[in-house]
Amino acid sequence: MTRTPTAQEAIPLAQPNVSDRERELVAEVLAGDVLAMGPYTDRFEEAIAALSGRRHAVACSSGTAGLHMAVAALGIGEGDEVITTPFSFVASSNVVLYERATPVFVDIELETLGLDPDRVEAAITERTRALLPVDVFGHPCRIDVLEQMAATRGLSLIEDSCEALGSRLRDRPLGSFGDASVFAFYPNKQITTGEGGMLVTDDAGLAAAASSLRNQGRDADGTWLRHVRLGYNYRIDELSAALGLAQLERLEELRAGRTRVAAAYERMLADLDWLRTPTVTDGADVDWFVYVIRVAEEVDRDRMIDQLATRGVPARPYFSPIHLQPLYRERFDFREGDFPVTEAVARSTLAIPFSSLLRDDQAERVVAALVECAHDQGVA
């Protein structure tokens, strides 16, 4: 009988990499008297704008907040449609609902796991206002093709690059496409601010609108009790911005750690014919967010998750199709079979432990556990 490991023995699914430099900058903030809307936020915005090749950046409280600000700042509202993907975290379509617009799902490509441009073209109607593609797991979708399509059809494009800070497509940074792009800095992301996000854009007017939206709709002059639009408390605090600045200073170090772990997994998993390792498409330079394998149909993925847990190896499905979430089923009458590629991929995905701190011996233990579980299921 397999013994359930203690908490000390369990391998973390994800783990933030925080050093003395982060503590130093956070301590600097605490030594001052400005904890919000101060110089660290300004510096963090400037650094992310430079990294993404954008003219403007607006820091906010989460990636969800950034996506919502993009939708609102572009004037998308009731009666409008936004074409997006059902294979994503639910926030990328929820933000459309926040503005009473309608998310129109289009199925994904099997290789990139992003919106299929051919299907997008067929889904555009007179009510379509924008495309909202997602760079899934840090890998680029065919965002360049979608950007050109949006420009040709007179549509806005919001790039959800929340999982893709540092990744590139043909030497162009992800986050540099379309009218606006958004990054997120949750603890499992390439860099973390605890909670936090960033909208980036080349449009000064859109940046100004986002800055107002995050700050309760205040005017650009900052008058505290003057509100010119319906806004939100989407501000980031100085402690989070300082943490993000320190993480950016260490970006290459953090990236190297994630690259090392991804390469180790690729090497150790390459000969297992019952799973598929992540595909890096031509022209892509990936700064890894998570490491998601796809298991064969004969593998009971959900049972494998339970089997792994008894061995101290956490794993989870990634993602669950948005259109099959209860809210979307009830509101839009979606059913299984509506987006078959998304559903087939989602049935097979398995996110395994991954971070820049994961040791080689831990990766070996993860792979050994996967093999044991597959053997127990009779597929290895």
Q: What are the tens digits of pLDDT across the range 97-122?
A: 999 999 999 999 999 999 999 999 99
Q: Which pairs with CB-CB distance under 8 Å and at least 24 residues apart come from 361-366?
A: 362/11, 363/261, 363/264, 363/265, 363/268, 364/268, 365/11, 365/312, 365/313, 366/11, 366/265, 366/313
Please tell me whether residues 362 and 262 are part of one structural domain. Answer: yes
Listed range (1-5, 30-34, 109-113, 208-212) with the worst mean pLDDT:
1-5
Whether residue 2 has pLDDT greater than 70: no
pLDDT at 1: 39
pLDDT at 354: 98
pLDDT at 7: 46
The CA distance from 54 to 175, in Å, is 8
Q: Is residue 321 part of a domain?
A: yes
Whether residue 306 has pLDDT greater than 60: yes
Q: What is the CATH number of the domain that holds 272?
A: 3.90.1150.10
Whether residue 223 has pLDDT greater than 90: no
| Contact criterion met (CB below 8 Å) for 158 and 204 | no
pLDDT at 222: 75
Please tell me whether residues 270 and 236 are part of one structural domain. Answer: no
Domain count for the chain, please give it: 2
109 phi and psi angles, rounded to 5 deg: -85, 145
Nearest to 136 by CA among 321, 334, 329, 325: 321
pLDDT at 10: 87
Please tell me whether residues 301 and 183 are part of one structural domain. Answer: no
Nearest to 274 by CA among 161, 374, 170: 374
Range of the domain at 265: 251-376
pLDDT, mean of residues 196-214? 98
The CA distance from 278 to 300, in Å, is 19
Could you write out the DSSP letters of every residue in 287-324?
Answer: --S-EEEEE-TTS-HHHHHHHHHHTT---B-S---GGG
What type of residue sits at position 276? R
| Contact criterion met (CB below 8 Å) for 62 and 197 | yes
Tell me the H-state helices in the chain: 20-31, 39-52, 63-73, 91-98, 117-123, 143-153, 204-214, 238-249, 251-269, 301-310, 326-332, 340-348, 360-376
β-pairing verdict for 172-173 and 275-276: unpaired
Whether residue 5 has pLDDT greater than 70: no
Q: Give the number of C-alpha atoms closer than 13 A to the C-alpha of residue 253, restricted to the C-beta side.
A: 10
Whether residue 4 has pLDDT greater than 60: no
Please tell me whether residues 220 and 190 are part of one structural domain. Answer: yes
| β-bridge partners, 173 | 168
Q: What are the tens digits of pLDDT across the range 153-195?
A: 999 999 999 999 999 999 999 999 999 999 999 999 999 999 9
Please tell me whether residues 352 and 226 are part of one structural domain. Answer: no
The CA distance from 212 to 204, in Å, is 12
Q: Is residue 7 part of a domain?
A: no
Task: Report the share of the chain in percent with pLDDT over 90.
Answer: 96
Please tell me whether residues 92 and 228 are part of one structural domain. Answer: yes
Q: What are the tens digits of pLDDT across the range 341-352?
A: 999 999 999 999
Q: Is residue 11 part of a domain?
A: no
Q: Of the candidates 222, 249, 276, which is a domain's last residue?
A: 249
pLDDT at 224: 86
The CA distance from 149 to 134, in Å, is 15
| Contact criterion met (CB below 8 Å) for 18 and 215 | no
350 phi and psi angles, rounded to 5 deg: -145, 110
Please tell me whether residues 27 and 113 are part of one structural domain. Answer: yes
Q: Is residue 12 part of a domain?
A: no
Whether residue 275 has pLDDT greater than 80: yes
Please tell me whether residues 196 and 321 are part of one structural domain. Answer: no
Q: Of the candidates 226, 249, 272, which is a domain's last residue?
A: 249
Q: Is residue 3 part of a domain?
A: no
Please tell me whether residues 264 and 236 are part of one structural domain. Answer: no
Q: What is the mean pLDDT of the chain?
A: 96
Task: Supply the Cα-derived Rg of the chain in whole angstroms.
Answer: 21
| pTM for the predicted model, two decimal places | 0.96
At residue 253 the predicted structure's pLDDT band, cuts being 50, 70 and 90, is very high
**Which tokens sit at 138?**
């840090």
Residue carrying structure tokens 């397999």 = 2
| Contact criterion met (CB below 8 Å) for 292 and 375 | no
Please tell me whether residues 87 and 231 are part of one structural domain. Answer: yes
pLDDT at 6: 52
